[in-house]
Structure 1
Amino acid sequence: MGVTRSIALLGGSFDPVHNGHVALGNYFVTLLAPDELRLLPAGNPWQKPPLKASAQQRIAMLRLAFERTAVTVVIDEQEIHRNDASYTIDTLRAMRSQLGPEVSLAFLIGGDQLLQLHTWKDWQALFDHAHICAASRPGFDVAVLPPEVAREFSRRGATAEQIRTTPHGLALLGTNLAIDISATQIRAALQHDEPVTTLVPGGVLDYIQQHHLYKS
């Protein structure tokens, strides 16, 4: 039986969501033409310090940031409601059992996450449940990838069409996403009243200011 639909998955702390997240999501919406973009705000990200904005605030900012996306956007709250640490492998397993075997799942990451992929829990098992699609800035050199990650991406390399028409197990690396923004940089700028208008969607910035987020 063929793939019934394709879903692109974008996870993150989104503390706050910024133009880099939106650009990454839109890049793969254009490239993969999925039926849905599903956003996965993290609950308790184990590799990072505690989150500054509440779960509800981060969800509200996500709605504002992706309101103009050219595909159905769903905010999936499963990681927020998990009591223990959020691991991508657990989320993908849960999603696969919920959606069944005939759906294409493409997990989207940026180049910085790709460099760390080998440190993720059971990272090679991610391919048993989803494709991994990474996008990086122009000039990104595959030679800088950890050897085991480079090996998997080389072995599993696929086209957008193959990603869309098979359920899981493939990899795609796009190297023309010309954006490099970090939430850490944005929080620091907001704390010091420095401008972030080029870094954060307008509606999100309004929300941050109305709710006095990232000030202390």
Structure 2
Amino acid sequence: MRLGVMGGTFDPIHHGHLVAASEVAATFGLDQVLFVPTGRPWQKEGKRVSPAEDRYLMTVVATASNPRFSVSRVDIDRPGPTYTRDTLVDLKRMYPEAELFFITGADALGQILSWKGVEELWELAHFIGVSRPGHELSATGLPQDKVTLTEIPAMAISSTDCRHRVESGLPVWYLVPDGVVQYINKHGLYTPEATAGEGEDFDAILPSATPEHDSTPAPARVTPATDSADPVQEDTA
């Protein structure tokens, strides 16, 4: 089985994520795409993130109508910060016969040489870096047989913009799936009150969290299409 793995905070998940997953699945002949909401993302230290269960359930709602999509709890059920290496090791254990394709933003892929356990990553999965049309892509310094870059005709949607719109009282219809809009409204996510009081403050949870990247290797250069904090336009996002 050819299994795509799309990790992200998904706070909230939006149509850009879904289009990217669908296009990559078609282009690379993937049998399934597994969405993996992060548990305690090390990139979000000092930032307020919605509870993992809300992010997981929004992802379930958003992907339910596509039989090729499914959602995994592997990261949110694992204690401690979320690292790509740990995600892929766990998924390899769960799907020993599967060939894994890790889908991420091209800008995040540009930092992969400094990620935790980078040499092991190449053995665990093939990496697909996605970007919006018009953004320069480069895989300089990355193993060509392990990395593929591709443009995705997705709309310029970001999770950050969606959160800001809700906080400002603006609609997010047609930016995120209908069921996710209803979930956000029902649970009061991203309102000024929620932003001020609830959610998970990862600076408090992980005061000494170790970044995924090591300090020595220089990252490959990729013209940013999104913030590297989250794969696939999660936080330009």
TM range (shorter): 0.7 to 0.9
What is the match of residue 116 of structure 1? 111
Superposed, 1:59-138 pairs within 5 Å as 59-71=56-68, 73-100=69-96, 102-138=97-133
What is the match of residue 23 of structure 1? 19
What is the match of residue 53 of structure 1? 50
Q: CA deviation at 1:193?
A: 0.8
Q: CA deviation at 1:82?
A: 1.6
3-state SS of 1:135 partner: strand
Q: Name which structure has the greater RCO, CA cutoff 8 Å, separation 6+.
A: 2
**Structure 1 spans left out of the alignment, 5+ residues:** 157-169
Cα RMSD, aligned residues only: 1.9
Q: CA deviation at 1:176?
A: 3.8
What is the match of residue 35 of structure 1? 31
Q: CA deviation at 1:112?
A: 3.4
Q: CA deviation at 1:124?
A: 4.0
What letter matches 1:151 in structure 2?
G
What letter matches 1:116 in structure 2?
Q
What letter matches 2:88 in structure 1?
L
In the alignment, the residues of structure 1 paired with residue 185 and residue 113 of structure 2 have an alpha-carbon distance, to the nearest angstrom, of: 37
Verify the 8 A CA contact 1:16 1:58 in the aligned structure 2: yes
User: CA-to-partner distance for each residue in 1:76-107, whole Å, 9 max, x for gaps?
Assistant: 1121112111101111112223322x421001
What letter matches 2:134 in structure 1?
G
What letter matches 1:136 in structure 2?
S
Superposed, 1:134-153 pairs within 5 Å as 134-142=129-137, 145=138, 149-152=139-142
Verify the 8 A CA contact 1:13 1:51 in the aligned structure 2: no
In the alignment, the residues of structure 2 paired with residue 178 and residue 51 of structure 1 have an alpha-carbon distance, to the nearest angstrom, of: 27
CA, structure 1 residues 15+176, in 2 after alignment: closer, same or farther (shift >3 Å)?
closer
User: Is 1:173 aligned with 2:169?
Assistant: no
In the alignment, the residues of structure 1 paired with residue 51 and residue 26 of structure 2 have an alpha-carbon distance, to the nearest angstrom, of: 31
CA, structure 1 residues 175+99, in 2 after alignment: closer, same or farther (shift >3 Å)?
same
What is the match of residue 196 of structure 2? none
Q: Which has the higher helix share?
A: 1
In the alignment, the residues of structure 2 paired with residue 184 and residue 115 of structure 1 have an alpha-carbon distance, to the nearest angstrom, of: 21
Q: CA deviation at 1:184?
A: 1.4
Q: TM-score, normalised by structure 2?
A: 0.73
Q: CA deviation at 1:110?
A: 2.0
Q: TM-score, normalised by structure 1?
A: 0.80
Query: Which of 132, 148, 172 pairs up with 1:196?
Result: 172
In the alignment, the residues of structure 1 paired with residue 33 and residue 89 of structure 2 have an alpha-carbon distance, to the nearest angstrom, of: 18
Q: CA deviation at 1:60?
A: 1.6
Q: CA deviation at 1:119?
A: 4.0
- What is the aligned-residue identity percentage? 31
User: CA-to-partner distance for each residue in 1:38-60, whole Å, 9 max, x for gaps?
Assistant: 11110000011445322222122
3-state SS of 2:132 partner: coil
What is the match of residue 163 of structure 1? none
Superposed, 1:150-169 pairs within 5 Å as 150-152=140-142, 155-156=144-145
What is the match of residue 6 of structure 1? 2
CA, structure 1 residues 197+119, in 2 after alignment: closer, same or farther (shift >3 Å)?
farther
Q: CA deviation at 1:70?
A: 4.5
